Amino acid sequence: MITLTNILILSAGTRNKIIQYFKNELEGCGKVIATDCSDIAPAIYDADKLYIVPRITEPGYIDTILDICKKEKISGVLSLIDPELSLIAKHRADFEAVGTTVIESDYDICEITLNKFDMYKWLVAHKYNCAKTYVDKDAFYKDVTSGMISYPVFVKPICGSASIAISKVYDKETVDLLFAHSDNLMIQEFLDGQEIGADCYIDMISGEVVSIFTKKKIVMRAGETDKSVSFKDVKLFELIKNFCKEFGFRGQIDIDIFEIGGEYYISEVNPRFGGGYPHAYECGVNHMKLIKNNLEGKENIPSIGNYDDGIYMMKYNEVKILK
């Protein structure tokens, strides 16, 4: 008997490439099914089948998704948006009960990565280089006075994403103003260096880091990497391997890193496919295949840095027409 490997992509939005790559991989051996709460989310129209679902915050949302998993005999499910990661991870057992694997890190891990201050505390406790961070602005002003930190700094929401409400700030007046107008902000030391993105896959069966692709970010747009160039550094691969093992990630993750004077600083982790993943895939770093293997019960063998350096990615716009 042939068993199909069907994959469900939640909150597909505008991530058409992710859907297309999964379709390439599952051609002839499974279907790609996509959901979104909007019927004008272009990516769902690239899937084999689509479902318009309630917003993730609505009661009964998870039941709707579990019903789709049962009906479509879904082997694996993953989400493409931050606020949904913890929700899916929290219901891992419910998904298992209908025969669906959640291709994601555990709930506690998702929660830490979604909270930039918790992430900072984790990095400090585990002795990784990172930007000094404050949630208490008076503690920050004290450190400015004593010369421990200086302007400019980054002020951002503790639980933000997509670069929303992030400001580079040059003086106390602006810090005061921002804090007066919003809650849950934090102040972070400015990392003045080369921004790097790492797309990694941590095997769902063995827990080993089996794939790493690193790129230097050249241009950012709306919080996403717009242009980037691939590169390789064994020292960085080792750092990423240790970091992922220590944290306990599983499945696909995306790490933001800064390089300053030959030292690497970890900035943040999105435990999902990042917006810049197409760069990795187009360089031959196929994580869809790794996911398919895991869903079929096959462990992946580590293959790290198996791509060429100096390959550029440039994003451009496309349109989807729906009649």
Ligand X SMILES: Nc1ncnc2c1ncn2[C@@H]1O[C@H](COP(=O)(O)OP(=O)(O)O)[C@@H](O)[C@H]1O
Provide the binding-site residues for ligand X, judged by CB under 6 A: 131, 154, 156, 160-163, 166, 188-191, 195, 220, 223, 256, 267-268
Q: Name which of ligand X, Mg ion, none residue 46 binds, using a CB cut-off of 5 to 8 Å depending on partner kind.
A: none
- From CA 7, how far away is CA 89, in angstroms rounded? 16
- From CA 63, how far away is CA 45, in angstroms rounded? 23
Provide, rounded to whole angstroms, the least separation between the CB of residue 254 and Mg ion. 8
Provide, rounded to whole angstroms, the least separation between the CB of residue 272 and ligand X. 12
Within residues 241-280, the interface with Mg ion by CB under 5 A covers 256
Provide, rounded to whole angstroms, the least separation between the CB of residue 127 and Mg ion. 22
Q: Which two tokens stand for residue 174?
A: 């602006």
Please say whether the beta carbons of 34 and 63 come within 8 A. Answer: no
Q: Name which of Mg ion, ligand X, none residue 195 binds, using a CB cut-off of 5 to 8 Å depending on partner kind.
A: ligand X
Please say whether the beta carbons of 250 and 183 come within 8 A. Answer: no
Provide, rounded to whole angstroms, the least separation between the CB of residue 8 and Mg ion. 26
Provide, rounded to whole angstroms, the least separation between the CB of residue 167 and Mg ion. 15
Query: For 313, phi and psi rounded to 5 degrees?
Result: -120, 135
Q: Name which of Mg ion, ligand X, none residue 233 binds, using a CB cut-off of 5 to 8 Å depending on partner kind.
A: none
Please say whether the beta carbons of 322 and 45 come within 8 A. Answer: yes
Q: Name which of ligand X, Mg ion, none residue 194 binds, using a CB cut-off of 5 to 8 Å depending on partner kind.
A: none
- Answer yes or no whether residue 104 interacts with Mg ion by CB under 5 A: no
- From CA 115, how far away is CA 117, in angstroms rounded? 6
Which residue sits closest to Mg ion, CB atoms considered?
A: 256
How many contiguous H segments (helices) and E segments (strands) does the chain have? 11, 15
- From CA 268, how far away is CA 110, in angstroms rounded? 12
Catalog residues that contact Mg ion under the rule CB under 5 A. Answer: 256
